[in-house]
Structure 1
Amino acid sequence: MLKALKYALLAATLASSMPLAAYAATPADTLVIAKQIDDLISLDPAEAYELSGIEVLANAYDRIMRFEPTDVNTLVGGVAESVTVSDDGRTFTFKIRAGQTFASGNPITAADAAFSLQRVIKLEKTPVFLLSQLGWSKDNVDTMVTAPDASTLVVTIGVDFAPSLVYALLGSVVGSVVDSKLAMEHETDGDFGYAWLKTNSAGSGAYVVRSWTPNESVVLEANPNYRGGAANLKRVILQHVPEASAQRLLLEKGDVDIARNLTPDQIAAIAGNADIKVTSIPEALLYYVGLNQNTKELQDPRVRQALRYLVDYDGMANSFLKGSAQVHQSFWATGFWASYDENPYTFDPAKAKELLAAAGYPDGFSLDLDAPNFAPFTNLAQTVQATFAEGGVKVNIVSSEMAPMLTKYRARGHQALMVYWGPDYMDPHTNADGFVTNTDNTDAATGGKPLAWRNSWDSPELTAMTAAAAKERDEATRKQMYIDLQKKVLDEGPYIIRFQSTSQRAERANVEGFVQGSSSDIVYYNLTTK
């Protein structure tokens, strides 16, 4: 009955947004995507921080800078067509493309770009840290981000950062350029249009948000003013279908064009269906275990190394994770600039026992492992429990919903904790900062509380190395600094990084041109045909 109701809801959504004939296939001018979108909480670029919201905004807004869709290591112009950097590396002057318009028809000017960056700082929503790390605050952003004329955006930063890092930040979701005139027409009590933009769009991307019904659907329609030309399909519908089994059935029936959350077993089951094809895309998402250094048994680096030898990486990758993950042991995902792709740890209980004995634990010890109570974490946790036992480490699995588990993690209440991590922007500094930086290891520390703090790991040497890498302007030197950091964290850090996620997208055989990169920032609908 529940599945029947969900199919009825999907049909109702489609019917409400277009005329339909029969349901043997989706309409020719519409792309229907089944995926989990319950993480979507806002469509304002100053607030959106979840994967689904960022994906929608990547299609509804152009940004100051853009990544090449098929090459995440290459930044290209967005609203800006060029940039010059001052000799001291602190002033960036962007030339705004001429002749661009928003979906509303309003011209895009440097003032819109400045307004967009300023409102991120002034609204102080979750992703504000992406720009505040440039030395911007409510008090100074109006002088540090200016538009001296309609085609010139001048950005001054208050820190020494590599230009490539600054570009990556301006190429993230907070670099989305908002139609200031349209936003301010909807301003309420000095909110810069925030209340309206939570559920609407004011951008110049390939699509315009026409409706969003939380936990049901998002409907986008093509923007005729898009600088890249009109999208191939007039309409895109993101339909919230939480159950992977329901996504599969809808795809097989032709009621959706793409299913984004099928399990490896379901992918294998549709392999012989000539009407469906599967595409695998390496993602930047990493699966890891955090080892709290407040736990006495985990403080010796030899113990942490031993635990890495008690993980059956290949066994999991080739069984229940098959096709959905690849072994990766460093903090920056493979395929990205400056990634370290060696995986030195293998499943070796004998080596683990030697290290544990040398650290004073010849008989092992007991360890609580927090893990989310859903796939693939349930299987991951149970497998780790079994393989750790081969080294004498008795694992007690503490299974819970993600939200309370993360609350516990942020309070450093765990011993070991299994979760995933994805980058906030496409530069290695985002993960280096999270996995390494810890400038205040006290319980009273304020700020973002990065992963190093959550795991009570304080390495002044590596924190300094991370800060130095962010400042380095020679790209070859900077790349090597991040590779060296990854090697050190792999040897010394409080993490067991195990896998890099692979997204498996199933789509009808007639679907072509869907662009899906390694993050939700790089998913574009406008080139899709069917």
Structure 2
Amino acid sequence: MKSKVKRALSLFLAASMVFSMSACGGTSSETKAESKDTAATTAAAGETTAPSGEVAATKQINIEINGDPNTLAPYASSNNPRNRTIIYTIYEPLFHRLKFGGELTPCVGKSWKQIDATTYEVEIYDYVKDSAGNPITADDVVFSYQTAIDSGTQTGYVGSVTEIKKTGDYTVQLSLASEQVGVFSDSVNFVPIISKAAWDASPDEMIANPVGTGPYVLDSWTAGSSLTLVKNENYWQDSAVSGERQAVDKVVFKEITEAAQITVALETGDVDFAYDVQSSDLFHFKEGGDDEGFTTYQFLNILMQCIFFNCDESSVCADPKVRQAICYAIDNQAILSNIFNGEGELSTTFSNSLYADYQDSWKNLDYYSYNVEKAKELLTEAGHPDGITIRLLTNSSADHKRIAEIIQALLAEANIKVDITNYEAALFNTYVSDPKEFDAYVTQKAAGGLSVLVWKLSMDARMFNGVTKNFLKNDEFQKLLETALDAATNSPETVDAVRAWLDENVPIYAFCSGYKYYVHTDDLLTPCVSGETVFYPGMSEFADTWHRTVE
């Protein structure tokens, strides 16, 4: 059968997106290579359409993850979207936001209304139950939020919640610290709602025995190998109200840590959906490739690859001229080419064109275009004519290690010696919190659909004891940021004022955002992927002839 190609717009205005089940996964560029012989494929995999009078075969999907989740606790710290795929299949928040920067849709929460600038009332469905049969009431919502706050790991989601209280059996009132843009959405979109009864009964705070309200429950878990979820047979919500949430009967997450083996797993039929296919292997699955029967999705990653400079006075990078010199000595195209095979978007400011408040004029900014002589000139002006040495930290990410090595080679041309130290995640987070331990570190950043939220989570001194995450203390910048964050004064002009300050002073410098890809079998018709990072298998659309039955 001749291959077909179907392409959709990959860059979209995040603020205008409204969720619909029929278009859940359709915001990316999609290449579909169809099987040469559909009948043969179906016969080999096993017939999934039951003959008249028989019960249809149950569906199973195998999903690649690149690491063990380590914990299934609802309030554990995790920035890995693979872990969040598991967590948000077991647990549910008050509301979903299934499109990047899009609108909130009901989940445990039924509706919400704004009382005043910083106060909201949320009503939950009055028939919610967790997988153990415990009813969920307003008391449980309050308990869930208080537990999330007390955990200390959910600051990005509950850091702005000053109070949550019961106002009825199924209503709560949520008070926020400010009327900043995006604060309410983030506060109700991520926090799992659990029952106090289940939490109190758990011997391990649900680390290995999760009890949520979600459409799936834990069936088995072999650390370092696989984790299996099955349908919650007592799931509380009716698909007529919410749309399909249990489209598949069994979900198996298979851990594959070697990138080359992910391609093999797809080719041999061991997995049906993969997040982490190497870009160099994608040609196998695209039109004209040697592996047919697959669909690839290409989309611009919301994550920006960047460098955070230590702005504490103890670091050489406290001097803006030194930071500017380093930026001029970095060739962003070299990073995009080496890390993402040249596929992605070069940064022209500390933002990304996916963000709803990104301004078209930013696309043409001269953002420290590679210029070694300019870098040397700035170092001389800063009092370092013979160059400097900086300590550059990275985490264990292979991409970040490679970026650090590219930076090391580039900066050597400008008489800047770079000493690189790599740390595992826990140690990395410890050392970047100590201004005496580094001069700069490589990382990646994103936030909930707005540039101002990215800036807030890194640069709002109110969140970091009076300084930014990288130890900058500047009253002028803080005032600009607070003005742009305030819903009453947020405007293109106030947002651009923050952008201009960041560009000139560069406490953070963005390199690029690469394209990301998913690969899956083409009988997964419409994968539901939230914000292009979290896959909801139960909310996806499968062909009637889905190839894998429950094992």
User: TM (normalized to structure 2)?
Assistant: 0.76
Q: 1:167 aligns with which of 160, 185, 194?
A: 185
Contact map agreement 1:264 1:321 (CA 8 A) in 2? yes
Aligned match of 1:63: 93
The reply on whether 1:54 has 2:71 as its aligned counterpart is: no
Matched, 1:85 2:111: no
**Residues of 2 paired with 1:112 and 1:400: CA distance?**
39
Question: Helix, strand or coil: the match of 1:74?
Answer: coil
1:368 corresponds to: 391
Contact 1:288 1:499 in 2 (8 A): yes
Structure 1 vs Structure 2: percent identity of aligned residues? 19
Moved more, 205-214 or 98-107: 98-107
Pick aligned residue for 1:178 from 179, 182, 194: 194
Find out whether 1:236 has 2:258 as its counterpart: no
Q: 1:254 and 2:269 equivalent?
A: yes
Distance 2:318 2:300 in 1: 33
In the alignment, residue 310 of structure 2 is paired with which amino acid? N
**2:529 counterpart letter in structure 1:** Q
Structure 1 residue 285: Cα displacement: 2.4
Residue 229 of structure 2 aligns with which residue?
220
Q: Secondary structure at the match of 1:452?
A: coil
SS of aligned partner of 1:126: coil
1:283 maps to 2:301: yes
Question: Against the structure 1 CA distance between its residues 250 and 450, is the aligned structure 2 distance closer, same or farther, given a 3 Å change threshold?
Answer: farther
Q: Deviations over 1:189-219 (max 9, x none)?
A: xxxxxx2522233333232232333332221
The answer as to 2:366 corresponding to 1:344 is: yes
- Counterpart of 2:526 in structure 1 is 513
| Inter-partner Cα distance in structure 2 for 1:450 and 1:72 | 29
Counterpart for residue 208 of structure 2: 199
Q: Please give the root-mean-square deviation of Cα atoms over the aligned residues, in Å.
A: 3.3
Residue matched to 1:486: 499
State the AA in 1 paired with 2:167. Answer: P
Tell me the secondary structure at the aligned position of residue 201 of structure 1: coil
The yes-or-no answer on 1:436 pairing with 2:467 is: no
Q: 1:86-134 deviations in whole A, cap 9, x for unaligned?
A: 23x233111223544444455443333223213323x434225642432
Q: Which of residues 288, 304, 317 is equivalent to 1:298?
A: 317
2:444 corresponds in structure 1 to 421
- Cα–Cα, structure 1 residues 344 and 208, in superposed 2: closer, same or farther, change >3 Å? farther
Aligned residue type for 1:356? L
Is contact 2:221–2:228 with CA below 8 Å preserved after alignment? yes
Q: Secondary structure at the match of 1:382?
A: helix
Distance 2:303 2:466 in 1: 16
Q: Relative to structure 1, is the Cα distance of residues 525 and 253 closer, same or farther in structure 2, using a 3 angstrom cutoff?
A: same
- In 1, the alpha carbon distance for the partners of 2:133 and 2:320 equals 60
CA-to-aligned-CA distance 1:238-275 (integer Å, 9 cap, x gap): 11111111111111111111222222222245541223
Alignment of 1:137-148 (within 5 A): 144-148=163-167
User: By how many angstroms is 1:425 displaced?
Assistant: 5.2
The answer to whether the 8 Å contact 2:314/2:436 transfers is: no
Classify 1:412/1:501 alpha carbon distance in 2 versus 1 (closer, same or farther; 3 Å). farther
C-alpha displacement of 1:367: 2.7
Aligned to 2:101: 72
In the TM superposition, 1:266-281 aligns within 5 A as 266-268=281-283, 270-271=285-286, 272=289, 273-281=291-299
**Which residue of 123, 129, 132 corresponds with 1:95?**
123
Q: How many residues align?
A: 478
Pairwise CA distance, 1:458: 1.4
Cα distance change, pair 231–523 in 1 and its aligned pair in 2 (3 A): closer
Secondary structure of residue in 2 paired with 1:344: coil
Q: Which moved more, 1:247-256 or 1:404-413?
A: 404-413
How many Å separate the matches in 2 of 1:219 and 1:324? 34
Distance between the aligned counterparts of 1:126 and 1:319, measured in 2?
34
* Structure 2 residue aligned with 1:140: none
Could you tell me which amino acid in structure 2 is paired with residue 219 of structure 1? T
* 2:337–2:343 Cα contact (<8 Å) kept: no
Asked if structure 1 preserves the Cα contact closer than 8 Å seen for 2:202 and 2:209, the reply is no
Higher mean alpha-carbon deviation, 456-465 vs 246-255, is at: 456-465
**Alpha-carbon spacing, 1:419–1:320, altered in 2? closer, same or farther (3 Å):** closer
Change (3 A) 1:296 1:130: closer
Q: Secondary structure at the match of 2:468?
A: helix
- Contiguous gaps of at least 5 residues in structure 1: 1-20, 136-143, 189-194, 440-446
Q: Give the partner amino acid of 1:245.
A: A
* Correspondence for 2:417: 394
The answer (yes or no) to whether the contact 2:58–2:249 under 8 Å persists in 1 is: no
1:378 pairs with 2:393: no
Q: Distance in 2 between matches of 1:337 and 1:330?
A: 15
In structure 2, relative to structure 1, the CA distance for the partners of 1:376 and 1:506 (3 Å cut) is same
Distance 2:424 2:273 in 1: 28
The Cα of 1:278 is off from its aligned counterpart by 1.9
Amino acid of the structure 1 residue aligned with 2:189:
G
* 3-state secondary structure, aligned to 2:443: strand
Q: With a CA cutoff of 8 Å and minimum separation of 6, indicate the structure with the bigger relative contact order.
A: 2
Which amino acid is the alignment partner of residue 210 of structure 1? D
User: Could you say what secondary structure the match of 2:183 adopts?
Assistant: helix
Inter-CA distance 312–28: structure 2 relative to 1 (3 Å threshold): farther
2:346 is aligned with 1:317: no
Residue of structure 2 aligned with 1:356, choices 379, 386, 394 = 379
Whether the aligned pair in 2 keeps the contact of 1:165 and 1:429 (CA below 8 Å) is: no
Deviation (angstroms), 1:399: 4.2
Pair 339,406 (structure 1): closer, same or farther in 2 beyond 3 Å: same
